[in-house]
Structures are given as C-alpha cells and as structure tokens.
Chains A and B, each alone.
Chain A
Amino acid sequence: MRVRHTLPAAIAVAGLALTATACGGGSSDSGSSAAKGGQSLKGHTVTVAGVWTGEEQASFKKVLQGFTDATGAKTDFVSTGDNVSTVIGSKIAGGDAPDVVMVPQVGVVQQFAGNGWLQPLSSAVDAEVTQNYAPVWKNYGTVKGQLYALYFKASDKSTVWYSPTAFANAGVTPPTTYAQMMTDAKTISDSGLAAFSIGGQDGWPLTDWFENIYLSQAGPDNYDKLAKHQIKWTDPTVVKALTTLGDFFKQDDLIAGGRKGALATDFPTSVEQVFGDSPKAGMTYEGDFVSGNVQALHKKVGTDAKFFPFPAVDGGQAPVVGGGDAAVVLNKGKDKAAGMALVKYLASPQAAAIWAKAGGFISPNKAVPLTDYTDPTLRETAKSIVDAGNGVRFDMSDQAPAAFGGTAGTGEWKILQDFLRDPSNPAKTAQTLESAAAKAYQG
C-alpha cells in the first residue's frame, strides 16, 4: 500500500453514491462461467470496486477494456478510497454491492469471507490458478478450503533501494548477505553519508524490516505460524530477529538523523533523504512502490535509484515478502456470472500483459512472459516474485488484525517505534508485542 493511513473515507463514501445501478435487467444467475469469447456477454455490466486512483486506475481500466473487447460486457470501475472494507460493507448493507472487488490485503479477503460476502470462485478459475500460479498464491486466496480470491497484481516488499553515487563514493557494491550489508553500511557511514534512511514516523516500514529479517532467519514455516499467531511473539525466533534488528538500530551512525531523526521521518521523506537533491543517506529499505516516490522527486529509476533484493540473513533463504491485490466476487452482486467471467479473464496472461506493458505492475502469474514488462526494473521484481515461487510470503502485519498490524499509534507499529527509540531489550519488546497480539487476535 502506498498510503497506509489517510483520513477517514467519508468523502469516498459520499463520492460512491454515483455508482452504477445501471445493470441490465434479466439477472441470469446461472453461476457457470460465461466467457466464451466474442460477444457472449453483450448487455451485461460488471461493476468493479478497487482502491486504485490516478495512473493505476487508468491502467486497470485498460485491462477492463480488454475484457469488454473479449466478451462484449460493459464494465464500471468505482474507486473505494483506502478503506475498502468499510466502503464495501456499507454498500452491501445499502443493497448496492459491486460485482467484483479488488482487495488490497489478505486480511480483508478473510474478513469478507468470514462475513459470508464472497462467492466461491468457479472451477474454471480454480483450474487457471492451479496451472499458472505458485500454490502459495492460491493458498492466500483460499479461506477454509474454498478458493475465493484471485491475485491479479503483486508487489515485492523485499527490495533495498540505493543511490549508485553513494555506493560508488564509498566503494561498495550491492551485498548478497545481511552481514555484508551491515559491513557496507559502516563503510558508507564512514564515507560521510548515513547508511540507511528509515521512515520510522510511519510504523509500517519498521514492521516490513522485521518481517524480512524474520522470514529469512526463521524460515517460511515459522513465518506462517507467527502470522497466524500459532506461535507466540515471545518465541526465541522472534527475540532473535528483534536482536538482529536491534543490533542495527543501536548503531546511530548508520541511520540518517540517528534513531531520533528516524522517528521524525515519514516514508516519503525517507526516500527523499536518499534520492533527493541533498542526500543524507545511501540506502533505504522498502517495497517496489519506492519507485513511485523516486519519480516524484524527478529522478530516474534504474540510473539515479537502483535496488538489490533484501539479502539473506544468517544463511537462510533471501526473503521475498510480497503482497497483492486480489479479485473477489461478491455474492450480493447484481451480475455474478459476468463478474466471475471477469475474474477468469484477470487470471489469464493476456489480461496481465495489458497492464505489464503500461508499467507500474507485476503479476504473480507464471504464464506472463517477462518480455511483456517494458520497464527493466519491474521486469527484475517480477522475476524475483515468480522465481521465489512458494517462498513468497505476504506482509505479516497485513495479515494480522488491524488493531495489531495496521493502525498508526498502536499495536506492532507503535511497539516497533518504541523499539527503534530504545533497542536495548528485545526480549521485553517481544513480550509487549505478544500481549498486544494476544488482545488483538482474540477480539
């Protein structure tokens, strides 16, 4: 998510009053998928809701146009703003449910399924997913053994962005292990530039740091268990990962502005401190969306800003923390059959190719040829996501209840901020995390 906390979505809700009730008459609830190509769905209208705005929305509309060309069904895109679950909830309550929702977090998919709002995806979609996706993506779309969500757009959150100039001045090259990264960090800091810029004022970059270290150090199995709170946050693996992170945080020289400065730095500023006109640091760790912030600074991704994959910690596999937007079909939608046809279309490599060519998109679909990506940086991230296969794990804090993993000023965000302020006692931080998690997972 590019913007994780914004003002309440009241405005967005008001804006949504304009959405389609223009669905054509006869509701053919056949349930079977109806896409047979050509004009088979002429006269149908599919309403799609999603968080995308601006350029992303324009690109997604191109994909929808592809669906219209293939089937003849009209589409209608509605932007929900950031607060998808609230907006969709109120639309369902108001009897104006969209047919398809593009859900940005796996936790929300589970929440929707738990509320009984979702239509299981058809066997045709299931077949596509089984064939073209690594099983991990299918698992993330499955709730209680039933496939509900198709991951259309993926994101890579294991990218460390660096300034090639800073690396050249310090005489270092992209590291392949975490230990090497920390040695290089010291060298960069000796060269007169802080090594890392950290957006500690927003809590989520800190959770992402932790998740990468944990996934690599403790392995995917432990990661899954911790994400489901099947092991406690006081587990030795957690304390070990926090200790690793704390050993980094302790070195004030490595952090732009020191720990105190990092706590007063929000995410956009953290990118600016590396790639802006007066750089204060050589690297920043965050997901592939950093490229958007780099472009906003009028710098070129690929020359002024490069990235290397988050390196492996303590001899583990290099982590690939990902995320994605998933398509779900609402069972209160007016034209579920056409909605299902759209989801089936989104599962195809053709649909992904349209956005891949437009840029700003990577697909978890193995069948999408890498040559479809026009941007070399995106091609690299797409490759790392597809290559990681079953090793990809979703952002843990996105899977947790929002009160623990997704709210500014409380839960994991706040506790890791406190840990950044004072990294001296990982065991105590683990305890604090556990008590907050216990409360949130129980509610």
Chain B
Amino acid sequence: MATLQTALPPARAGGPHGTGARRRSRRAKITAAVFALPALVLLGALVGYPIVYSVIRSLFDAKGHRFVGLDNYQTLFSDHATLIALRNTMVWVLVVPALLTGIGLVLAVLTDRVRWKTAFKLVIFMPMAVSFLAAGITFRLVYDQDPDRGVLNAVAVSVHDAFHDSASYPGARARQGAGATLQGDGHGGFATSAATSPGSTVSLGMVGILPAKLPKDSVQAAPAAARPGSVSGTVFLDFRPGGGGRPGQVDPGERGLPGVHVRLEKDGHTVAKATSGPDGTFRFAKVPDGSYQVALPKSNFATAYSGISWLGPGLVTPAIMAAYLWVWTGFALVLIGAGLAALPREVLEAARMDGATEWQTFRRITVPLLAPVLSVVFVTLVINVMKVFDLVYIIAPGPVQQNANVLALQMWLVSFGGGNNQGLGSAIGVVLLLLVVPAMVLNIRRFRRSGS
C-alpha cells in the first residue's frame, strides 16, 4: 500500500495550465497508470484478493458450502482456546517490542564508543541469520527438563546441589503392605508405626533402590541384637534381586543401607540420633524407660532436585519470549546503532560542555533525537510479534501448547492443524489483520511524512 501512495504524486505534479498542459497531464496520468499497472496487478493478486477472499470465507462454515454470517466470529470470541491465544498475543505485543527496543537502545548506546563495536554487533546480529525453526529446536533443547540434556537445568541443578546436600537414597520408600513396620510421617520421612521401648529391636525395610546404586561399603544386612537399655535396629533394602524375600524381614541377599540418619523420638521430639553402619544396624544406647518411635527423616530420601520446569504451563510463554529476544536483539541493536551514528555529534558535545551528566544527555538529547528510529523499530517489532508462530509451535510441548498459544498459531491449528475449519481460521485471520492495521497505519503515515 505504501508503494501505491508514493507512486501516485508525480502524476499529479504537472498541474493544469491550459488545454495543452491538460492533455499533457492526462498523458502523464496514463503513463503513470501504465507504469503502476504491474505493481497493481501483483498487489491485487497477492494481497488484495487473498484479503477479500479470507473475509468472505470467514462467513462460511467449515466445508465452505453454507453461509453462516458472523457465527465464526461468535465462536472465536467464545472459544476458550482462541481467547487464551488472543490474551497471549496481547501479552506478546505489550512486552516484547518494548523490551527489545529498550535492550537494543541500551546496547547501542553502551557500545557506541567502544572500538570493537562492529564485532560486537556482528555477534549479536548473528542469530538473525538462523531460521526460526532451527532457533526453536535449539531452545527446545536448552529448556529441556532433563539436566543431562537441557543446559539451563544443568546449571540450575549444579547451583542447587552446590548449596544443598543430596540425599543418600533418593526416591527410596518404606516397604508397604505385608511386613510393613514404617509409615509415612507426612513430611516425606518415615517413622515406626508401633511404639518401641528399650531392650527391643526394629527392622526397617526400605524398597525402591536399585542394588547397583547402593554405596560400595554396603554388605549383607544383619538383624540387630537386642540389648537391655538400648533401642537397636537395622535399616536394609528389603528386596532381594530376583525376588523371593520375606517382606519386613532380613533375608540372605538383602543388603544393609549404610549412612542413614536415624532418630529416636518421644512424643514428636527427637531424643537421640544415630547413623546406620555398613550392615544397616544402628543403636541408641542408654535409653530411659518409656515408649519411643524410630524415625528416618526425609533428608535421607529426598528425590534429587530436577531443575526448573521451563516449559511448564507457567513459564512457557516467557521462555519462548526469551528465545525471540535472542533472535531479534541484533535487529534492534543494528538499526538503533545506525541511528545513533547519524546523530549530530555537536549537540551531544554541547550538552556535555554545559555540564550535563551522561544520564541527562541520554535522557534529554539522545533518546528524543533517536525517537524516529526507535518508533520504526518498535512498530516493526509490533507487526512481527503479532505473527509469531514458528517459535511457539516448536518450543511449546504438546501438553502446554494451549498455554503458549498465540493467534497466528491458533489460526493455523484451526484451519489445517487438525481443526480443518477454514471458516473459523479465516475469521481468526481477519481479526489478526484488524489488529495489525493500527500499526500499519502508523507506519504508512510515517512513510508519507518522511516522503514529503
């Protein structure tokens, strides 16, 4: 459309001056029309016709045979999935262009007076050369939940483990059902279900540990010997490779769990602590008479920290936005950088001479002078963000696709990706067009202003 607007004025430029001039001007108009024709035909075929057809198609049903009026639009604004997509598109438009323009501006100003700024810009600009598809696949891996594959979770897990001791037996749990002596304490640990008193023994059978993962010093479990005045017991792996052990009892082939923290508790208060030996035995000596419980706190069995769920329902949209930033920062940086290079240096110099601080120069001089460039970047990004599709489609896994959905993706899903309802799809397309129009109008008005 912009081409049309700028192509026409020269034809008008002749102006009416008598009949000869009028004829000449008419001829000029015809010439102009002839020159504009190919562009007009192309625009009509590639832009005009599809838009008009989409509008018409959006008034028909899924198969395209039955006229349904505005039903598709009604469905669109009542369908839960489409409304989420609309909301997400709004969030994208509100957050991403502003953030990108800001980052681009800061980076451009900061690197403006650095000698190797070209190299820096080159590096930041490089992701622009990567296709969205490739970037999407890369980021899908970066965000992978498994710390062995996803680099972000690898970092998160390393940092976490550096500050927290990991449990010796992650995921282990007390034997349930027949032979059970322990029950959950409600906080992830276990405690004996029956009370115990000095002079007795307890056997604490645990399951859910691979024999191969036991510590090297672990040996055949031994039943604890009862001694007067002490509470003793065995913590052991109550599972014999190949099966066949008696639940709850120490059998040949069942190994002790060394290094388990054991607590003796009375009325919910810890009165003594012990650690199990290589054969799984432990002993609390000199216990006063009374009834006690033996507890194995959670710290022994806490499952390993598995990192942050980047692609979970909550974080998936910010995660995709970050990938988008990675790709587009170069665009903002280079454009704003170019604008910055064209700024009249003397104004900045004068401001500095007058004693303005760098922040004041930035706020009062650089930003206002850069405003046209900033608005170009911003508006371009708004238009681009509205049609974001590939990154969302690729990065969001199936279960959270709806949480991350945006209008452009929803349009495709509804029309081709399973929905097969091109009527509703066209309606979404039309809504998307209407949303882009204000940004386009802004752009065109600016083109015309800079043209005149």
Assuming the contacts A201-B397, A264-B311, asked whether A187 and B417 have C-beta atoms less than 8 A apart, the reply is no
Q: Which segment of A166-174, A309-317, A332-340, A344-352 sits at the interface?
A: A166-174
CB within 8 Å for A263 and B239 given contacts A403-B419, A403-B420:
no
Cβ of A373 to closest chain B Cβ, rounded Å:
33
Contact check, A407 vs B413: say whether CB atoms are below 8 A apart: yes
Contact check: which of B146, B401, B420, B421 meets A408 at CB < 8 Å?
Answer: B401
Q: Tell me if B243 and A410 are in contact (CB < 8 A).
A: no
Interface segment among A34-42, A189-197, A321-329: the answer is A189-197
Return the CB mask of A372-386 against B: 1 if under 8 Å, else 0: 000000000000000
- Complex CA gap A201/B312 in Å reads 11
A293 → chain B, closest Cβ, in Å?
17
* Number of chain A residues close to chain B: CB under 8 A: 40
Bound together, the chains give a CA A266 to CA B397 distance in angstroms of: 9
A171 and B242 form a contact (CB under 8 A): yes
A409 engages B399 (CB within 8 Å): yes
Q: Fill in one digit per residue for B388-418: 1 if any A CB lies within 8 Å of its CB, else 0.
A: 0000000011111110010000001100111
Q: Would A410 and B418 be within 8 Å (CB), given that A169-B242, A190-B208, A253-B173 are in contact?
A: yes
A200 to B145, CA, bound (A): 14
The answer, yes or no, to whether A123 is at the interface (CB within 8 Å) is no
Per-position binary interface string of chain A over residues 156-179, scored 1 when its CB falls under 8 Å from any chain B CB and 0 otherwise: 000000000000111110000000
Residues in B with CB closer than 8 Å to A414 are: 398-399, 401-402
Q: A190-B239, A402-B420 are in contact. Are A410 and B413 (CB under 8 A)?
A: yes
The dominant DSSP class at the B interface is: loop
Whether A443 touches B421, Cβ cut-off 8 Å, given contacts A171-B242, A409-B399, A414-B399, is yes
What 0/1 readout, one digit per residue, does chain B (407-450) give for beta carbons within 8 Å of chain A?
00000110011111100000000000000000000000000000
- B145 partner residues in chain A, CB cutoff 8 A: 261, 264
Give every chain A residue within 8 A of B241 (Cβ-Cβ). Answer: 169, 191
Give B111-161 interface residues, CB cut-off 8 Å to A: 133, 145-146
B283 at the binding interface (Cβ < 8 Å): no
Known: A169-B242, A417-B398. A407 touches B208 (CB 8 A): no
Contact B418–A403 (Cβ < 8 Å) = yes
- Whether a CB of chain B sits under 8 angstroms from the CB of A413 is yes
Does the CB pair B211–A192 fall under 8 Å?
yes
Q: Is the CB of B417 within 8 A of A407?
A: yes
Flag if A171 contacts B311 (CB, 8 Å): no
User: How far, in Å, is B390 (CB) from chain A's closest CB?
Assistant: 9
Nearest CB on B from A170, distance (A): 6
Residue total for B at the interface (Cβ-Cβ under 8 A): 39
User: What CA separation (Å) do A202 and B397 show in the bound complex?
Assistant: 8
Nearest Cβ in chain A — how far from B305, in angstroms?
13
Question: With A171-B243, A192-B239, A253-B173 known to touch, is A201 a contact of B62 (CB < 8 Å)?
Answer: no
Q: Does A86 sit at the interface, judged by CB under 8 A?
A: yes
**Inter-chain CB contacts under 8 Å: number:** 98
A98 close to chain B: CB less than 8 A: no
> Are A168 and B242 in contact (CB-based, < 8 A)?
yes
- Name A21-57 residues within 8 Å CB distance of B: none
- Give the chain A neighbours of B173 by CB distance below 8 A: 253
- Chain B residues within an 8 Å CB radius of A266: 397
Chain B, range 291-317, C-beta contacts under 8 Å to A: 306, 309, 311
The interface centre, meaning the residue of B146, B240, B418 with most chain A CB atoms within 10 A of its CB, is B418
Q: A171-B244, A403-B418 in contact; A193/B210 too (CB < 8 A)?
A: yes
Taken together as a complex, chains A and B put the C-alpha atoms of A125 and B240 apart, in Å, by: 59
- By a CB distance below 8 angstroms, the chain B residues around A201 are 397-399
Rounded to whole angstroms, the CA-CA distance of A260 and B412 in the bound complex is 29
Known contacts being A192-B213, A402-B418, A403-B418, is A409 close to B208, with CB within 8 Å? no
Query: Is B81 at the interface (CB under 8 A from chain A)?
Result: yes
Within A182-235, which residues are at the interface with B (CB < 8 Å)?
Answer: 187, 189-193, 200-203
The CA-CA distance from A201 to B418 in the complex, in Å, is 18
Chain B residues in 8 Å Cβ range of A5: 398
From A190, which residue of chain B is reached at the shortest CB distance?
A: B207
A409 to B173, CA, bound (A): 35
User: A426 in the interface, Cβ–Cβ < 8 Å?
Assistant: no
Residues of A within 8 A of B225 (CB): none
The 8 closest A-B pairs by CB, nearest first: A171-B243, A407-B418, A409-B401, A192-B210, A190-B207, A408-B398, A402-B418, A417-B399
Name 30 interchain pairs, CB-CB below 8 A, sorted by A.
A8-B417, A172-B243, A189-B207, A189-B208, A190-B208, A191-B207, A192-B208, A192-B209, A192-B211, A192-B213, A192-B239, A201-B397, A201-B399, A253-B208, A261-B306, A264-B145, A264-B397, A403-B419, A403-B420, A406-B418, A407-B419, A408-B398, A408-B418, A409-B399, A409-B402, A409-B405, A410-B81, A410-B413, A417-B398, A443-B421
Binding site for A on B (CB under 8 A): 62, 81, 133, 145-146, 173, 175, 207-211, 213, 238-244, 306, 309, 311, 396-402, 405, 412-413, 416-421
- Starting from the known contacts A191-B243, A192-B213, A408-B401, 11 additional A-B residue pairs (CB-CB under 8 Å) come to A190-B238, A192-B207, A200-B399, A201-B397, A201-B399, A203-B399, A261-B145, A264-B145, A409-B405, A411-B418, A413-B398
